Structure 1
Amino acid sequence: MADITLFHNPRCGTSRNVLALIRHAGLEPRVVEYLKTPPSRDELRALAAATGQPLRTLLRDKEAVFAELGLADPGLSDDALLDAIEQHPILLNRPIVMTPLGTALCRPSEAVLELLPVGPLPPFTKSDGEVVVDHGRRRG
């Protein structure tokens, strides 16, 4: 069984769809409800590094606290961003998925397909009725 970790918020439709897509592939991820069990600073740094993106890309800018804390300021250091995420875990964007094929913020939810270590999947219908077709492209 593939080692898959999903940083998940069950109140988020995109996150629920990613979990359902992973299960649709016959896989069962380790689910980390990051609002209950926030990742450490070191884990957050490692997650950002694994995505190949700056830490800032893992911030959820739609949260009110993002604006309240002035996090749009491009001059803020990673340490300042980590301080904010530690104090307000809701700032961590979701869902983040780690698999043997890579790590990514999976927005839109079908972005998870390229991380799944399985062959092409049959069509999947998301909670909003949109049908996802897997074209078999995987990271490698």
Structure 2
Amino acid sequence: MSVTIYHNPDCGTSRNTLALIRNAGIEPLVIEYLTQPPDRATLAGLIAASGLQVREAIRQKGTPYAELGLDAPSIGDGQLLDAMLAHPILINRPFVSTPLGVRLCRPSELVLDILGEPQRGAFTKEDGERVIDADGKRVQHG
């Protein structure tokens, strides 16, 4: 299965998502989007395929979002995409693309919906939350 993750190695959610992909026995194409940002068509395609609006795919925390005035309702999708391409830190992460779909994997478990391969063993997130049990089954919370 061909899987691509737009990854930020400094992000725990992105690291957990990558680990879940690998826990399914898949070695994805890892694109560190901060140093290799997607082109405009690819970024717009990822956002659209994930079912999000452009504004929903922007990361606000720890970015120049407010300083750039991107919170103004008058800022359109084209301007938001331009800002994301000029400042890749504004691209929320991680986006994962597989033949089964595209997701912005926040939380990281959303990747399970588009992998198509079972988990091969237990998985616990970096924060200690158990996601997959020893039988490779998703742990139900709540």
Check whether TM > 0.5: yes
Structure 1 position 135, deviation (Å) = 3.7
Instruction: Render the CA deviation track for 1:3-40: whole Å, top value 9, x for unaligned.
Output: 10000000101100100110011001000100111111
Q: TM-score, normalised by structure 2?
A: 0.89
Structure 1 position 75, deviation (Å) = 2.2
Unaligned runs of 5+ in 1: none
8 Å contact kept, 2:33–2:88: yes
Identity of aligned residues (%): 54
Letter in 2 for 1:80: Q
Distance between the aligned counterparts of 1:68 and 1:35, measured in 2? 19
Distance between the aligned counterparts of 2:119 and 2:85, measured in 1? 38
Higher helix share: 1
Instruction: Render the CA deviation track for 1:64-115: whole Å, top value 9, x for unaligned.
Output: 4001011122221111101111211100000000011110100011111111
Give the aligned length.
135
1:38 alignment partner, SS class: coil
Residue aligning to 1:23: 22
> Structure 1 segments of 4 or more deviating over 4 A?
none
RMSD: 1.5
2:96 alignment partner, SS class: strand
Unaligned runs of 5+ in 2: none
Letter in 2 for 1:114: D
